[in-house]
Amino acid sequence: MESLCIVGNGGVSPCQSFTRLETTNVSLRPRAQLGFGCFVRERCKDGNLVIARSGRSEVGNPKDGNFAVENEKERKGGGLILGPERDASGSVIGFNLIPPPGDGEVLKSHKDATTGGTEEAEDIEGVEKVQTRVTHSIVFVTSEAAPYSKTGGLGDVCGSLPIVLAARGHRVMVVSPRYLHGGQADKNYAGASELDCHIKVYCFGGEQEVAFFHEYREGVDWVFVDHPSYHRPGNPYGDSRGAFGDNQFRFTLLCHAACEAPLVLPLGGYTYGEKCLFLVNDWHAGLVPVLLASKYRPYGVYKDARTILVIHNLAHQGVEPAATYTNLGLASEWYGALGWVFPTWARTHALDTGEAVNVLKGAIVTVDRILTVSKGYAWEITTVEGGYGLHELLSSRRSVLNGITNGIDICEWNPSSDKHLASNYSVDDLSGKVQCKIALQKELGLPIKPDCPLIGFIGRLDYQKGIDLIRWAIPELLEDDVQFVMLGSGDPLYEEWMRATESTYRDKFRGWVGFNIPISHKITAGADILLMPSRFEPCGLNQLYAMRYGTVPVVHGTGGLRDTVQAFDPYSKGGLGEGTGYVLFLNTLALHGFPGNS
């Protein structure tokens, strides 16, 4: 496997461990961890930020959504040619500006850089350093960004990708809410100080005043939008009684504030200005491109800004009754962008006209580019089964739709330095892994049996994750000599089931209800197998963490799981076998739910 390590901060860092650690798994060799843009980062002991890129990377290829390359070519003019856009089968699906063949690759040396391109890689003592030659002002808009806020993978990606892009030389701002839930996590914002800038945004029938907090960390401007509606117990989206009823209001505020932030916040002395690239994540940030098109550009503002929608999960679209449109602070003539009509079968009663506003739909029709977090999912969302009603719309935008597999933070997820583990280990010395298993069994009060297969599950307790499939399989599975540990929170029904199962199978099953990052690391290291029977999975991060920790992923072959886990083939390599995990395909019954299992 070819692997490339790149050092930021101008330093040289020996991060050879990246390549070696990818092969932590002994019998099943993991493939490269791919990045969103194929990057993963590692902060080495000397404090340098190291960015690693997989050998299969498509970085720098605009066809795969590398906006930096494309925008640069556009700016220079003449660097792009009009050419046919083809789908996977080779059929022409449109015409687009594309770079000349061979252009847009990440350059491997300064020498190459003289001929054009946007990024330079310098080989210093076997470590390649990549710096972009054209920098952009990038504004991430997201409902969560770790370590400030995180309920799942969106927080992981928006907490680490901005740092990687900043290390490449871009100016990067992340705009997300300043949640105060009244618990320990509020301390996460301790480093952010209030900016002397309060703005008023017009939505929901009046003026809403928001403030901004700011922290400059790891080269990134972390900007937090402050408003009383973000201050309440629970998580970013809801509490034990379900989703908050005013989420449309809370995320409308976020989008309005995010559009103002580059114009009004003098970060480090000067604003980002109008010429920036907005990376809007999921529906919560989906109003940003609509606002740019409807509120700013008609007045000549943000003419040169570009927008990319990143779809981490199409199942959530921000759909509310049509009557709420007037709350959004958009001109009435833009209703068509968000307007959405449910099919007859999905309506609730005979008088229901099915009319609604769909924020994600508004983003899809107004953004410049659409990205998903794996290539497989980029295709799936154009199908009836995976499109959640938006497949036709997404198919119509196929020429600007790409998938780039998520990367992981290999600094946080590194078994040789993970501070949460009882014992660190690496591909060179795996003895610590069994110590992690024993420590996990001890901590959870399970019988200490190093030879007993330990299966783990970590994730949101949601229909997406196939929890009901686990629930259905548990009685039969636990007839064998195995242990099963689940960590998750979400649907109260599944939380209750986990507690009940634990009391039924005291010696075999543990269900940790809640959100606990140290335990997630301990399970990833201590388990032998990580189970991910997701019905759909845009990318999935836990299987990537598992492969890095020598834990065998057993996954449903969907979306990013299929893209990243190489199914073990016992016959390849002359019977030695090859693969990084097991890929299963669920039948229709399993996919659509078992009777009585809802």
Ligand X SMILES: Nc1ncnc2c1ncn2[C@@H]1O[C@H](COP(=O)(O)OP(=O)(O)O[C@H]2O[C@H](CO)[C@@H](O)[C@H](O)[C@H]2O)[C@@H](O)[C@H]1O
Interface ranges with ligand X (CB under 6 A): 152-154, 156-157, 312-313, 373, 406, 458-460, 487-489, 515-517, 520, 537-542, 560
Separation CA 251–CA 286 (nearest Å): 9
Angle at CA 593, nearest 5°, toward 587 and 595? 115
| Pick from 428, 424, 407, 408: nearest CA to 416 | 424
CB of 389 to ligand X, least distance (A): 18
User: Judged by CB, which is closer to ligand X: 155, or 362?
Assistant: 155
Rounded to whole angstroms, what are the CA distances from 596 to 60, 516, 592? Answer: 49, 30, 12
Task: Please report how many Cα atoms fall inside a 13 Å half-sphere around the Cα of residue 206, on the Cβ side.
Answer: 3
Residues in Cβ contact with 289 at an 8 Å cutoff, skipping those fewer than 6 apart: 278, 280, 307, 309, 362, 363, 366, 367, 368
User: Judged by CB, which is closer to ligand X: 36, or 189?
Assistant: 36
User: Judged by CB, which is closer to ligand X: 199, or 485?
Assistant: 485
CB of 325 to ligand X, least distance (A): 28
At 283, is the secondary structure helix, strand, or coil?
A: helix
CB of 114 to ligand X, least distance (A): 37
By DSSP bridging, strand 238-239 and strand 193-203 are unpaired
CB of 456 to ligand X, least distance (A): 11
Q: Where does 159-254 show beta strands of DSSP type E?
A: 171-177, 193-203, 206-217, 220-226, 238-239, 242-243
- The kind and range of the H/E element at 545 are helix 542-548
User: Judged by CB, which is closer to ligand X: 306, or 521?
Assistant: 521
User: Judged by CB, which is closer to ligand X: 152, or 234?
Assistant: 152
Torsion, Cα of 292, 296, 299, 304 (10° steps): -50
CB of 519 to ligand X, least distance (A): 7
CB of 458 to ligand X, least distance (A): 5
Residues in Cβ contact with 549 at an 8 Å cutoff, skipping those fewer than 6 apart: 24, 413, 415, 433, 524, 525
At 473, is the secondary structure helix, strand, or coil?
A: helix
| Pick from 17, 18, 67: nearest CA to 168 | 67
User: Judged by CB, which is closer to ligand X: 294, or 542?
Assistant: 542
User: Judged by CB, which is closer to ligand X: 329, or 540?
Assistant: 540
CB of 480 to ligand X, least distance (A): 26
Cα-to-chain-centroid distance, residue 592: 25
CB of 370 to ligand X, least distance (A): 14
| Pick from 565, 559, 558, 563: nearest CA to 582 | 565
Instruction: Return the number of other C-beta atoms located less than 10 Å from residue 204's C-beta.
Output: 17
User: Judged by CB, which is closer to ligand X: 13, or 374?
Assistant: 374
Are 502 and 432 in contact, with CB atoms under 8 Å apart? no
Helices 467-477 and 492-504 meet at what angle, rounded to 10? 10
3-state helix vs strand vs coil in the chain, percent to 5: 35, 25, 40
User: Judged by CB, which is closer to ligand X: 36, or 302?
Assistant: 36
Separation CA 156–CA 413 (nearest Å): 11
User: Judged by CB, which is closer to ligand X: 249, or 549?
Assistant: 549
Q: Where does 305-368 show beta strands of DSSP type E?
A: 306-311, 319-321, 339-341, 355-358
User: Judged by CB, which is closer to ligand X: 496, or 507?
Assistant: 496
User: Judged by CB, which is closer to ligand X: 34, or 154?
Assistant: 154
Residues in Cβ contact with 27 at an 8 Å cutoff, skipping those fewer than 6 apart: 577
CB of 41 to ligand X, least distance (A): 15
Residue at shortest CB range from ligand X? 152
